[in-house]
Amino acid sequence: MVTAAQQTESGPDAARTFPKGFLWGSATASYQIEGAATEDGRTPSIWDTYARTPGRVRNGDTGDIATDHYHRWREDVALMADLGLGAYRFSLAWPRIQPTGRGPAVQKGLDFYRRLVDDLLEKGIKPVATLYHWDLPQELEDAGGWPERVTAERFAEYAAIAADALGDRVKTWTTLNEPWCSAFLGYGSGVHAPGRTDPVAALRAAHHLNLGHGLAVQALRDRLSADAQCSVTLNIHHVRPLTGSDADADAVRRIDALANRVFTGPMLQGAYPEDLLKDTSTLTDWSFIRDGDLQQIHQPLDFLGVNYYTPTLVSEADGSSTHNSDGHGKSAHSPWPGADQVAFHQPPGDTTAMGWAVDPTGLYDLLRRLASDFPTLPLVITENGAAFDDYADPSGQVKDPERIAYLRGHLAAVHQAIADGADVRGYFLWSLLDNFEWAHGYGKRFGAVYVDYPTGTRIPKASARWYSEVARTGVLPGA
């Protein structure tokens, strides 16, 4: 635990020293950076299909080329080494490894990840592999997708393939990235792939994502060495009430159940929250939960990955605001089944290019809550960052003081949470590179490294150099 005495100075604007061994890294996702959409046996994922559907993605952008990481991975690893990163969190592309979502692996796909991991290790960068960052093989979606149990079973088989191929090199594994987005944006509001808009399918998908997680952890444990670590990454929503009324407090409860406890309940406590089942009882009786499922889902984890960008502000619905103010994209369909009486509001303060409020106190409060709710489970910030309207100036430099301010504020919040008792072990900046930002296409830049998309040229932004110094020294400079 860091104490105030470990800060190099005193006061709110002082430099802050993080604990020895704190892990500093950056993160990406396969569909957002790899490209090579049809090479070496890769077949379409749901995001290939979604992005090629007119009207789904800004400007008709696709991940067919993305940042061409599949061909430029050596350059990208060299960038990480130059920045002094201690770890790299990347995702494996399921349709590159197991194109139909069943059957044997494609060795050329696995070889890509073998080469990537070997180069990371050679440069002293710890590989952190995520099995699923939203790119479900399209053939599995055609068979029903995550609302169907068979997808969870196929996911466990894929996890076994990945562990057999990379387990001798990769010692830290994450099953799912943000299953809330997969379930509720993919099957509820339809603003993410596969673009379905069925609230019951969204709830079914949430359960089978939970089940897939549990089965995958078991498959990993069966194959990995005793020192390997297993985790899951959740985009835990920090939900706040608009007012102090009882009605707004109940709105917080409803959204907390749908956003957070639908996953933390079964994964970390072995049960779905009773209020969630009651809130959604007019939609489903949850009979898709079978005997033994909760035991399968509730597997021991070595840490919990936490993604945070902005807080969520809610109230009792009054007709003035809807789910389209929740920061998750506009749709005629809600990603919040059973919560029609909840309204979402824009939080106060400065915003990023995504329109998301900049509020580091939300991250501090979230970490303190998780430390209280799950005191024996270490935490890692697996994504945190911001999109701004970055550009290369005539000298070829990319100056992004807003991102530096965002990172400084949020890292100060992490440091304070550690000082106040939260067991936070690491921080991964989202993202290493500007990339395909899902339904926003290439219009939103989250990267520490600027990418000129026509040429693929990489230019480290001012924030990359700033973060590099923090990562090398473990010291957050004062404002």
Residues catalogued as catalytic: 178, 383
Bridge partners for 451 per DSSP: 458
| Exposure string for 281-304, b = 16+ CB within 10 A, e = fewer | eeebeeebbeeebbebbbbebebb
**How far is residue 186's CA from residue 201's CA, in Å, rounded to a whole number?**
10
Measured CA to CA in angstroms, residue 462 lies from 161, 184, 387, 413, 430 at distances of 40, 36, 14, 21, 15
Residues 34, 52: Cα–Cα separation, whole Å = 17
Distance CA 267, CA 249 (A): 25
User: Cα(28)–Cα(385) distance, rounded to whole angstroms?
Assistant: 12
Strands 303-307 and 229-234: parallel
Q: Is 243 exposed, middle or buried (0-12, 13-18, 19+ CB in 10 A)?
A: exposed
Q: Choose among 381, 138, 191, 370: nearest CA to 267.
A: 370
Handedness of CA 280, 286, 292, 293 (dihedral sign): negative
Nearest C-alpha neighbor of 212 from the set 151, 280, 166: 151
Contacts of 12 (CB under 8 A, 6+ apart): none
Find the radius of gyration of the CA atoms of the chain: 21
| Residues pairing with 126 in the sheet | 87
DSSP for residue 177: E
DSSP 39-72: STT---BHHHHHHTSTTSSGGG--SSSTT-HHHH
**Residue 174 DSSP symbol:** E
What whole-number distance in Å separates Cα of residue 243 and Cα of residue 241?
A: 5
Neighbouring-strand partners of residue 25: 87, 428
3-state class (DSSP) for residue 122 = helix
Task: Kindly state the tokens that stand for 278.
Answer: 């009651």
> What is the bridge-based pairing of β-strands 16-17 and 475-476?
antiparallel
Name which of 364, 330, 345, 324 is nearest 248 in CA terms: 345
* Of 211, 58, 74, the residue nearest 149 (C-alpha): 211
Q: How far is CA 128 from the centre of its chain?
A: 13
Q: How, if at all, do strands 303-307 and 379-384 pair?
A: parallel
